[in-house]
């Protein structure tokens, strides 16, 4: 199983741009590009052309190209060639991907790509290893990143190290000391480093791989890491703020980038958070009073520093050193910390008051939704807290924790969260909403108050990225409709293009099933979703498909509840039993361990000829990260249109905001969101040109032009009028025919010249014309 | 496939999208249709296998026929089982016609079990009778690939190394119910040098892909009945022998057919040895073939002597296997535009309309695609060359 710590995965790549052993040399618009394969797909060539244009214009781009057509390799080879040709224009490639398997995939491609280069990387798990090597900590089984963090901090913080000088018995981290002493002067040998390589390197040299990686990131030519290192303000501040301005940033699999942005800026506060915060405050208070007795000078020193203001940070920003942090607004940097929270006791008192206020707000029995200004007004009236001190809350807390020399910062996550909330709520009057729900909608009797401080504008989090880096490329297999991303992320792209897949045989077969054999319309529309006939028809569809599709079928439902209801009712009707005669059935649940178990068994069943069906949920783990290559997914069935749960208050607020700010109608956005998830789900089955699969959209609403038109172009292209609004019978006939045709032997020679080109073929005139048609400007 | 003359009635045909057939050239060659690729494959078959390769002429073939529930599917008329069995009869005849010194055995699998319909034997009659009888059997349950391969393997593994050991699976179902890990079995089959080929009746199943790839067989899925027949006929030709199979001299008997003349009063009708175990048709005959070693009498050839185990064949049998070893060389393909000369096929006298024509390298006569296939698949000699031979 993939360890949970993967979240922390970060990979860096150094590349020496020489000694490339590559096979194809292409001339892309005057740029010499090395390509590591003998053949190239026409769409890759077209993609590189567009990419080159984007880089030339030093602007941002939105590019859609189907999965399995070699996006990553095209991106890498072009940008590296560009780096080589214009070393002053582009210094660094920052490649962000979403999940660990994807990052690893990129990594393997880099290995193929370059033989003589370096990667640098680190895993926080590196700490585990290096801690256990320190004897007296070896008994600690550190399982959570946070704990590791805290431990690390307690050994490497500057004051601890200062104490170590005077008192050698104070434990410090040998690895860090070593790195600090020599690591920065010695250049890292060029090469590709992934997590393990870096860990090995660190162990060999006796350097801390974590700090090594943070240092190395500044010198790497290619950095591969997760979105969060760039988008989440808390982490980006640590890791990415010193990245050079002349970098090219690529967001791969970016179809969900707006949600990542929103998540990184939103804060959820429950009663438990507040309770933990309460203890934090008490600890702070105790520490302060203790320090006051022993070392009052320290507190005084901090006070005067605060009077000076955060000038240091301001200077840094003006000289354009850092990626700006959206949690740290500009005004704060120019002003001194207000007097009311300057002394430590006053600040703690202030936090206490704020906390009490929040507690009072959570004690309500009805749902409240208000804007940030309303909240500020209310807080001023009730507990006389001004807007200004709130704004400085996050900075002030950080300063205090530093002054108090609290080593174990892991425990203070609750109060840090609250302070972030305070800063955000007072800084942004627009783009956020506060929703307090006393209970969950599904369990109205159990009190579980939650304060959602929800970001509605994804552009806030991503704005610094667009602002700082000269080129940002957003790319994915499913970005349609292309015009919506620039709108919701609020940026001006210079290129917007969608590429199709050139195929030697039509290996994808999208079918829209609208009716059952009894002509009853199939739809997951809210009014009819409980209808007996609809459920039965869905069951019949799956039953019929299970009889004709070999090996694996993946079926997606719109939600867990819907899936549970349908499966229960199939069981009662005996449909499930009939299906099981053909294939085994596995179900995705909300439990990650259970799901990965089911996945494993599913793959086994596909492998040994038993055949299996995986029932899963759109927007679930399976739909986002798992690929079903070849026999693992010969058919994907999408039961219903995966609309998001529209009754959610957060969503409603966001829709309203989109309408007011970006003139995007609610319905447009909802459809867009549903269709991108549907496309994502069905796209799981086709992972390359030799792959093939049926894509079945089982809802009559897909046949409508507004839905159909929002599918990616490479799917739409194969969706003829003849495959709309089919009955189950017709689907079975078409599917059978398709599967038989696809089972015919297919060799590389059949592709050559059509969907696979050699250099000579690429240079012919009419091929270049054909290529020009592949890219469609939006 | 639409030009197929014996095509079923329109209303019997499946749901089809006739407009798509017209569409394929719309966007140029980008959308090369599957038919095109198939045509290429057809040609390749002719050109492949030529040249001097050693062929396994003595074949031991087990045909495994899936008789599971899915065989009742009516996409082949009247259903898959009947259609398959009918084609199998044809196959068995053709097989013995082309491979007179080989043997065949038939296994069926249903209800998770495998059952031997006929044992390995060199005489088509018994197989044909068994196949005819099997038409009435019901199709139930799931097939078991493992069990049936195992049954076949138990017999095949005792066969001498110089023979070609093959299994042909006709697999209709998309699932298999196996008692153990099939990948282990595939390894064993590979070690025993048993070649497994699969003809799928519905779609490509992963386990079959692996099975055929590992054991060196071929895997095809049928498109329709005529394609099915074509694929089945592919297995009539002996496969190339693996280089590791040992060479050995094989003793064979060439008995003369002796007919006691009616005038000979001493002649008494006698039973054939092959009737010993079969209960049907008691045949008292006057003449027959007598084993040169032990004088046992048989009415038909080829056969393995029941008494001394000698393989009894007739000279024409061996001669018929001969053409596999010296196949007709492939004709040269030229596009129609480049061809200058009279546009008539030498064989059928029809007009040359296809996009390429085929020229015999020896006599420079020109043929159309269909005739080219016919000459290479059936005639095994060029009519043009034969004519010139005779005239000269």
Residue B257 lies in a domain: yes
Nearest chain A Cα to B143, which residue?
A610
State residue A183's pLDDT score. Answer: 65
* pLDDT tens, residue by residue, B192-212: 989 999 999 989 999 999 999
Q: Measured between beta carbons, which residues in chain B are less than 8 angstroms from residue A746?
A: 37
Task: Looking at the structure, tell me whether residues B307 and B336 fall in a common domain.
Answer: no
Domain end, chosen from B298, B321, B344, is at B321
State residue A624's pLDDT score. Answer: 78
State residue A694's pLDDT score. Answer: 93
- Segment A17-33 mean pLDDT: 64
Closest approach of A589 to chain B, Cα-based (Å): 26
> How confident is the prediction for chain A on average, in pLDDT?
79
H or E element at residue A130: helix A125-133
Q: Measured between beta carbons, which residues in chain A are less than 8 angstroms from residue B19?
A: 722
Task: Looking at the structure, tell me whether residues B100 and B173 fall in a common domain.
Answer: yes
Residue B286 lies in a domain: yes
Task: Looking at the structure, tell me whether residues B92 and B149 fall in a common domain.
Answer: yes
Higher pLDDT, B209 or A231: B209
Residue B342 lies in a domain: yes
B234 touches chain A (CB under 8 A): no
The confidence band for B6, taking pLDDT boundaries of 50, 70 and 90, is very low
- CA–centroid distance for A663 within its chain: 26
What percent of chain B lies above the pLDDT cut of 90?
26
The confidence band for A3, taking pLDDT boundaries of 50, 70 and 90, is very low
- Segment A149-166 mean pLDDT: 66
Unique residue bearing structure tokens 């006070």: A303
Q: Measured between beta carbons, which residues in chain A are less than 8 angstroms from residue B223?
A: 740-741, 744
Distance CA B186, CA B123 (A): 29
Q: Using the beta-carbon criterion (under 8 Å), do B181 and A608 form an inter-chain contact?
A: yes
The confidence band for B4, taking pLDDT boundaries of 50, 70 and 90, is very low
Residue B118 lies in a domain: yes
- Segment B368-378 mean pLDDT: 80
Distance CA A4, CA B177 (A): 37
Instruction: Write out the two tokens for A433.
Output: 């909403």
With a cut of 50, say whether residue A101 has pLDDT above it: yes
Q: How far is CA A170 from CA A156, A160, A174, B261, in A?
A: 11, 8, 12, 119
Task: Looking at the structure, tell me whether residues B58 and B189 fall in a common domain.
Answer: yes
CB atoms within 10 A of CB B68: 25
Residues in chain A whose beta carbon is closer than 8 A to a beta carbon of chain B?
A: 502-506, 547-551, 581-583, 606-611, 630-631, 634, 722, 729-730, 733-734, 736-737, 739-746, 750, 754, 770
* pLDDT tens, residue by residue, A328-348: 656 566 667 777 888 888 888
> Of A398-407, A548-557, B59-68, B301-310, which gets the smallest average pLDDT?
A398-407
Task: Looking at the structure, tell me whether residues B257 and B231 fall in a common domain.
Answer: no
Higher pLDDT, B383 or B280: B383
Q: Using the beta-carbon criterion (under 8 Å), do A607 and B70 form an inter-chain contact?
A: no
Task: Looking at the structure, tell me whether residues B71 and B172 fall in a common domain.
Answer: yes
Residue B47 lies in a domain: no
- Segment B60-71 mean pLDDT: 92
Nearest chain B Cα to A736, which residue?
B202
Say if CB A54 and CB A494 are below 8 A apart.
Answer: yes
Burial of A466 (0-12, 13-18, 19+ CB in 10 A): middle
Whether the link from the prior residue into A393 is cis, omega within 30° of 0, is no
- Segment A228-242 mean pLDDT: 72
- Segment A425-446 mean pLDDT: 82
With a cut of 80, say whether residue A590 has pLDDT above it: yes
Task: Looking at the structure, tell me whether residues B196 and B331 fall in a common domain.
Answer: no
Task: Looking at the structure, tell me whether residues B364 and B333 fall in a common domain.
Answer: yes
Task: Looking at the structure, tell me whether residues B115 and B219 fall in a common domain.
Answer: yes
B205 touches chain A (CB under 8 A): yes
* pLDDT tens, residue by residue, A197-230: 777 777 777 777 677 777 777 777 777 777 877 8
Distance CA A248, CA A241 (A): 14
Distance CA A141, CA B251 (A): 76
With a cut of 90, say whether residue B297 has pLDDT above it: no
The confidence band for A539, taking pLDDT boundaries of 50, 70 and 90, is very high
With a cut of 90, say whether residue B224 has pLDDT above it: no
Phi/psi of residue B168, nearest 5 degrees? -115, 120
* pLDDT tens, residue by residue, A713-762: 889 888 888 888 899 999 998 899 899 988 888 877 777 777 777 777 77
Higher pLDDT, A146 or A355: A355
> Of A84-98, A361-375, A416-430, A598-612, which gets the smallest average pLDDT?
A84-98
Q: Using the beta-carbon criterion (under 8 Å), do A551 and B174 form an inter-chain contact?
A: yes
* pLDDT tens, residue by residue, B148-188: 999 999 999 888 877 889 999 999 999 998 899 999 999 99
Pick the CATH number of A508-745 from 3.40.50.300, 3.40.50.1390, 2.60.40.650, 2.40.160.10: 3.40.50.300
Residue B16 lies in a domain: no
- For an interface test with A, give the residue of B204, B218, B224 to mutate (most A CBs within 10 A): B204
Count of CA atoms in the C-beta half-sphere (13 A) of A603: 11
Strands A726-727 and A635-639: unpaired
User: Which DSSP letter does residue A430 get?
Assistant: S
* pLDDT tens, residue by residue, B18-28: 444 444 444 44
- CATH number (domain holding residue B372): 3.30.40.10
Superfamily (CATH H level) for A1-254+478-499 = P-loop containing nucleotide triphosphate hydrolases (3.40.50.300)
The confidence band for B234, taking pLDDT boundaries of 50, 70 and 90, is confident
For residue A662, give the nearest of A466, A493, A484, A496 by alpha carbon. Answer: A484
Q: Where are the alpha helices (DSSP H) in A532-586?
A: 532-548, 560-573, 575-582
What percent of chain A lies above the pLDDT cut of 90?
20
With a cut of 90, say whether residue A615 has pLDDT above it: yes
> Of A55-64, A667-676, B34-43, B126-135, which gets the smallest average pLDDT?
B34-43
* pLDDT tens, residue by residue, A270-297: 888 899 999 888 888 888 888 888 877 7
With a cut of 50, say whether residue A522 has pLDDT above it: yes
Say if CB A32 and CB A85 are below 8 A apart.
Answer: yes
Higher pLDDT, A383 or B266: A383
Higher pLDDT, A677 or A143: A677
State residue B65's pLDDT score. Answer: 94
Distance CA A598, CA A617 (A): 14
User: Which are the contacts of B266, defined by CB distance < 8 A and separation ≥ 6?
Assistant: B260
Helix (H, G, I), strand (E, B) or coil at A204: helix
How many domains, chain B? Answer: 3
> How confident is the prediction for chain B on average, in pLDDT?
79
Q: How far is CA A250 from CA A483, A522, B82, in A?
A: 18, 40, 59
Say if CB B165 and CB B195 are below 8 A apart.
Answer: yes
Residue B23 lies in a domain: no
Nearest chain A Cα to B218, which residue?
A745
With a cut of 80, say whether residue A531 has pLDDT above it: yes
Task: Looking at the structure, tell me whether residues B171 and B228 fall in a common domain.
Answer: yes
- Segment B337-364 mean pLDDT: 80
Q: How would you classify residue B89: left for phi > 0, otherwise alpha for psi between -120 and 50, otherwise beta? A: alpha
Residue B32 lies in a domain: no
> Of A14-28, A354-368, A726-740, which gets the smallest average pLDDT?
A14-28
Q: Measured between beta carbons, which residues in chain B are less than 8 angstroms from residue A739?
A: 202-204, 221
Q: Where are the alpha helices (DSSP H) in B69-223?
A: 80-98, 124-134, 145-156, 182-191, 206-215
Task: Looking at the structure, tell me whether residues B129 and B67 fall in a common domain.
Answer: yes
For residue B367, give the nearest of B386, B342, B390 by alpha carbon. Answer: B342
H or E element at residue A63: strand A60-64
B15 touches chain A (CB under 8 A): yes
Say if CB A649 and CB A620 are below 8 A apart.
Answer: no
* pLDDT tens, residue by residue, A378-406: 999 988 888 888 888 887 887 787 777 77
* pLDDT tens, residue by residue, B96-153: 877 877 889 999 999 999 999 998 887 788 899 999 999 888 888 889 999 999 999 9
Strands B288-290 and B297-298: antiparallel
The confidence band for A411, taking pLDDT boundaries of 50, 70 and 90, is confident
Q: Measured between beta carbons, which residues in chain A are less than 8 angstroms from residue B178?
A: 608-610
Mapping DSSP onto H, E and C, the string for A603-665 reads HHHHHCCCCEEEEEECCCHHHHHCCCCHHHCCEEEEECCCCCCCCCHHHHHHHHHHHHHHCCC
- For an interface test with A, give the residue of B1, B2, B24, B32 to mutate (most A CBs within 10 A): B32
With a cut of 80, say whether residue B349 has pLDDT above it: yes
State residue A592's pLDDT score. Answer: 87
* pLDDT tens, residue by residue, A43-82: 888 899 899 999 999 999 999 988 878 888 888 888 888 8
Phi/psi of residue A225, nearest 5 degrees? -150, -175
Q: How far is CA A430 from CA A260, A364, A650, A722, in A?
A: 19, 25, 15, 48
Expressed as residue numbers, the domain containing B342 is 327-390
Distance CA A668, CA A706 (A): 9
Task: Looking at the structure, tell me whether residues B231 and B332 fall in a common domain.
Answer: no
Mapping DSSP onto H, E and C, the string for B57-99 reads CCEEEEEEEECCHHHHCCCCCCCHHHHHHHHHHHHHHHHHHHC
Count of CA atoms in the C-beta half-sphere (13 A) of A90: 26
Cα-Cα end-to-end distance for chain A: 41
* pLDDT tens, residue by residue, B353-366: 777 788 888 888 88
State residue A544's pLDDT score. Answer: 94
A754 closest CB neighbour out of B32, B203, B220: B32
Nearest chain A Cα to B208, which residue?
A609
The confidence band for B268, taking pLDDT boundaries of 50, 70 and 90, is confident
Nearest chain A Cα to B205, which residue?
A550
């Amino acid at each position: 199983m993939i360890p949970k710590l993967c979240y922390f995965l970060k990979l860096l790549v150094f590349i020496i741009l020489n000694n490339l052993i590559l096979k194809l040399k292409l001339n892309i618009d005057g740029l010499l590009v090395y390509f590591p394969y003998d053949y190239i797909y026409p769409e890759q060539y077209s993609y590189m052309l567009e990419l080159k244009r984007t880089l030339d214009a030093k602007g941002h781009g939105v590019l859609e190209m189907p999965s399995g057509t070699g996006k990553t390799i095209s991106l890498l080879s072009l940008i590296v060639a560009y780096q080589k040709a214009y070393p002053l224009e582009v210094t660094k490639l920052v490649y962000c991907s979403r999940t660990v398997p994807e990052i690893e995939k990129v990594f393997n491609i880099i290995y193929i790509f370059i033989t003589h280069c370096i990667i640098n990387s680190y895993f926080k798990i590196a700490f585990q290893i290096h801690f256990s090597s320190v004897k007296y900590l070896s008994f600690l089984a550190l399982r959570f990143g946070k704990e590791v963090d805290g431990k690390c901090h307690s050994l490497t913080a500057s004051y601890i190290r200062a104490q170590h000088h005077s008192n050698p018995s104070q434990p410090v981290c040998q690895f860090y000391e070593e790195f600090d002493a020599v690591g920065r002067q010695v250049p890292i040998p060029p090469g590709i480093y992934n997590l393990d390589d870096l860990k090995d390197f660190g162990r060999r040299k006796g350097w801390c791989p974590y700090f090594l990686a943070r240092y190395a990131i500044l010198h790497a030519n290619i950095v591969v890491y997760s979105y969060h290192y760039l988008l989440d303000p808390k982490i980006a501040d640590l890791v990415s703020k010193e990245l050079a301005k002349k970098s090219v940033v690529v967001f791969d699999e970016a179809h969900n980038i707006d949600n990542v942005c929103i998540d990184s800026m939103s804060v959820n506060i429950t009663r438990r958070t507040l309770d933990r915060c309460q203890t934090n405050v008490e600890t702070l208070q105790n520490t302060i009073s203790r320090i006051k007795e022993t070392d009052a000078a320290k507190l005084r020193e901090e006070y005067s520093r605060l009077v000076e203001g955060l000038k240091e940070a301001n200077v840094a920003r003006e000289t354009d050193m850092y990626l700006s942090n959206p949690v740290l607004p500009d005004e704060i940097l120019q002003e001194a910390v207000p007097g009311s929270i300057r002394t430590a006791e006053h600040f703690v008192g202030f936090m206490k008051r704020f906390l009490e206020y929040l507690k009072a707000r959570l004690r309500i029995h009805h749902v409240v939704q208000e804007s940030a200004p309303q909240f500020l007004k209310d807080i001023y009236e009730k507990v006389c807290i001004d807007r200004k001190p709130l704004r400085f809350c996050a900075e002030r807390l950080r300063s205090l924790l530093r002054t108090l020399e609290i080593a174990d910062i892991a425990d203070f996550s609750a109060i840090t969260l609250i302070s972030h909330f305070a800063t955000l709520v007072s800084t942004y009057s627009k783009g956020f909403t506060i929703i307090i729900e006393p209970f969950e909608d599904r369990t109205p009797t159990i009190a579980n108050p939650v304060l959602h401080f929800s970001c509605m504008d994804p552009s806030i989090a991503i704005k610094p990225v667009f602002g700082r880096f000269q080129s940002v490329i957003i790319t994915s297999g499913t970005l349609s409709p292309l015009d919506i991303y620039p709108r919701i992320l609020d940026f001006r792209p210079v290129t917007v293009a969608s590429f199709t897949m050139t195929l030697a045989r039509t290996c994808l077969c999208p079918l829209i099933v609208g009716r059952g054999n009894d002509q009853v319309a199939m739809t997951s529309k809210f009014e009819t979703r409980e209808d007996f006939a609809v459920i039965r028809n869905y069951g019949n569809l799956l039953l019929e498909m299970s009889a004709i599709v070999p090996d694996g079928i993946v079926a997606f439902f719109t939600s867990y509840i819907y899936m549970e209801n349908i499966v229960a009712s199939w069981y009662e009707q005996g449909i499930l039993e009939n299906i099981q005669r053909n294939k085994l059935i596995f179900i995705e649940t909300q439990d990650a361990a259970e799901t990965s178990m089911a996945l494993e068994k599913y793959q086994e069943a596909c492998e040994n000829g038993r055949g299996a069906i995986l029932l899963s949920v759109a927007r679930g783990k399976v739909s986002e990260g798992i690929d079903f290559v070849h026999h693992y997914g010969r058919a994907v069935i999408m039961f219903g249109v995966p609309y998001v749960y529209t009754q959610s208050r957060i969503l409603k607020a966001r829709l309203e905001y989109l309408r007011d700010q970006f003139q995007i109608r609610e319905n447009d956005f909802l459809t867009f969101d549903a269709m991108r998830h549907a496309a994502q789900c069905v796209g799981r089955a086709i992972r390359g040109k030799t792959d093939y699969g049926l894509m079945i959209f089982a809802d009559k609403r897909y046949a409508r032009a507004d839905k159909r038109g929002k599918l990616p172009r490479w799917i739409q292209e194969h969706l003829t009028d003849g495959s709309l609004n089919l009955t189950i019978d017709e689907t079975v006939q078409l599917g059978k025919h398709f599967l038989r045709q696809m089972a015919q032997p297919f060799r590389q020679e059949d592709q050559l010249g059509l969907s696979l080109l050699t250099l000579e073929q690429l240079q012919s005139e009419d091929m270049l014309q054909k290529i020009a048609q592949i890219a469609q400007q939006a | 496939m639409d030009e197929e003359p014996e095509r079923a009635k329109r209303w019997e045909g499946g749901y089809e999208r006739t407009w798509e057939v017209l569409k394929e050239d719309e966007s140029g060659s980008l959308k090369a249709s599957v038919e095109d690729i198939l045509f290429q494959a057809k040609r390749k078959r002719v050109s492949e296998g030529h040249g001097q390769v050693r062929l396994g002429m003595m074949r031991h073939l087990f045909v495994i026929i899936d008789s599971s529930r899915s065989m009742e599917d009516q996409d082949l008329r009247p259903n898959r089982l009947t259609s398959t069995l009918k084609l199998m009869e044809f196959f068995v005849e053709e097989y013995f016609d082309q491979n007179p010194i080989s043997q065949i055995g038939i296994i069926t699998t249903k209800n998770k079990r495998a059952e031997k319909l006929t044992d390995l034997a060199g005489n088509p009659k018994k197989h044909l009778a068994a196949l005819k009888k099997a038409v009435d059997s019901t199709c139930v349950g799931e097939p078991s690939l493992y069990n049936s391969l195992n049954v076949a393997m138990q017999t095949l593994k005792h066969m001498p190394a110089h023979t070609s050991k093959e299994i042909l699976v006709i697999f209709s179902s998309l699932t298999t119910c196996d008692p153990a890990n099939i990948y282990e079995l595939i390894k064993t089959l590979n070690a025993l040098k048993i070649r497994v080929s699969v003809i799928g009746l519905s779609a490509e199943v992963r386990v079959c892909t692996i099975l055929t790839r590992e054991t060196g067989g071929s895997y095809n899925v049928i498109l329709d009945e005529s394609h099915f027949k074509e694929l089945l006929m592919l297995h009539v030709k002996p496969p190339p022998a693996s280089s590791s199979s040992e060479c050995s001299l094989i003793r064979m008997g060439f008995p003369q057919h002796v007919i006691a003349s009616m005038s000979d009063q001493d002649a008494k009708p006698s039973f054939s040895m092959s009737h010993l175990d079969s209960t049907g048709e008691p045949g008292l005959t006057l003449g027959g073939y007598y084993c040169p070693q032990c004088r046992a009498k048989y009415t038909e050839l080829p056969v393995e002597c029941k008494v001394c185990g000698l393989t009894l064949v007739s000279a024409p049998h061996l001669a018929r296997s001969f053409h596999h070893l010296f196949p007709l060389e492939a004709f040269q393909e030229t596009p129609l535009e480049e061809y200058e000369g009279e546009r008539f096929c030498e064989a059928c006298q029809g007009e040359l309309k296809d996009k390429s024509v085929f020229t015999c390298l020896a006599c420079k006569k020109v043929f159309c695609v269909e005739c080219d296939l016919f000459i290479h698949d059936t005639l095994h000699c060029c009519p043009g060359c034969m004519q010139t031979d005779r005239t000269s």
